[in-house]
A = this chain, B = another copy of it.
C-alpha cells in the first residue's frame, strides 16, 4: 500500500452512511448570508425552558468539586433515576442503572455489551437516522423491518421473518423518532415474545416515553414480565426536560451480566461530568407536573400543524401519538432535492424552512423518498408560518409531481 493509501481514514469510518443534513447545512448557511431567515424544522431540539430546579442546581455549579464521578454515575443521580422509574411503576435497583451521556452513549454501550461484529440487529423503519452510523461503527448489520400502518410498529410476522442465526437484537424506539408512533403493550409484548423465543436482546429507546398524547406515558419494556434477561432501556433526559445541552441519559436493564459488561465499557471513558449529573438529579425526583406542561404544548402544536397540513394539496401527514415530530409525504419527486431547493432557490416573504428528508431514516432503498420530518420545536405562530412557507414552496417547486395520495 502506498503512503497516501495508508493514511486514509479507516474502512469503518469511510463506510459510515452519508448524512443528508450535513449536505443541507451549507445551503442553510448560504441562505442566511443572502438575508433569508431560515426556520429550522430540522433539529430535534426543544425550544421550551428546562424545569426551574435544573437552573437552581446549576446556580451551585461553581461550588462543586470537579472530580471524577464513579463510572456508573454519581450515586445520587443513579438513585434519582431509580426513584424516577419507581414512580412510573418500574422497580429497578441502582445496580441495574448506568448514567450515560445521553441516549447515544446508552445505545453505544448497549450495542458493545450485547453484540459482536457481524451480528444483525432488526430495526423497524423509519428509525432514528443515527442508528445507521452507530450500528455501522459497532460492526453490525442493520436489518430494516417495514413499518405497520401509518408508520406504526411492524407486524410481528415481519420481525420474525428476518431472524437469522446472526440476529442478536431488536432495536425499537417508542414513542418513535421520527414517526411519533407509540408501541402499545401488545406490540411490545409480541416483540418481547420473539426476543424470548429466539434469544434476542430487546433494545428499547424510550427517550420520548413521557411525551405522549394519550395517557401519562408509553409502556416501557421494563414493565413487561419475563424479559428480565432480554430488555434494555435506552433513556435520555434531553427531550423530557429540555436539557439537550446537559447530555444526560441512562441505560437500564435487569440483565446483571450485561450491565456489568456495560459498566466495564463505561469505565474506559472514566466518568461523566459532575455538574451535568447533579443538575438533573432534582428534576428526576419530581418531573411529572413539569412534563405535563411540556406534553400540553406539543399536543397543541401537533394538532395545529396537522390541521394546517391537511389544507395543503397533495400533502399526507402521519398523526403522531407521541414525541414532537410530524412525518409528511409531499407531492415531490424527491424530498432531498426539495429540501435543498427550499434553501437554495426559494423564499417566501424573506423566509424559508429547513426540513429533514426522510431517506436516512430508512435502510430500504427508495423508502422515504417523498417524506420529510418536521420538528415541532417552535412557537405555534412560527409553526403556522412554516407550514405556509412549505405550502408556497410546494406550489412553486418545479419537481412537484401530480400523484394524489389516498
Contacts and interface: CB of A to CB of B under 8 A. Distances in A.
Interface of A: 1-14, 16, 19, 22, 43, 45, 50, 54-56, 58-59, 61-62, 64-69, 101-102, 104-105, 108, 112-117, 130, 133-134, 137, 139, 196, 198-201, 229-230, 242-247, 255, 257-258, 260-262, 264-265, 267-276
A66 B261 contact: no
A137 to B, nearest CB: 6
Contacts of A276: 273, 275-276
A193 B257 CA distance: 45
Contacts of A275: 58, 61, 245-246, 273, 275-276
Contacts of A113: 9-10, 13
B14 A261 contact: yes
A61 B8 CA distance: 40
A116 B199 contact: no
Contacts of A56: 62
Contacts of A7: 199, 201, 229-230, 255, 257-258
A53 to B, nearest CB: 11
- Assembly of this chain: how many copies? 2
A96 to B, nearest CB: 14
Nearest to A64: B245
B3 A66 contact: no
Contacts of A112: 10, 12-13, 137
Given A117-B139, A137-B268, A245-B271, A68 B45 contact: yes
Nearest to A43: B68
Nearest to A257: B9
Given A10-B112, A67-B244, A268 B134 contact: yes
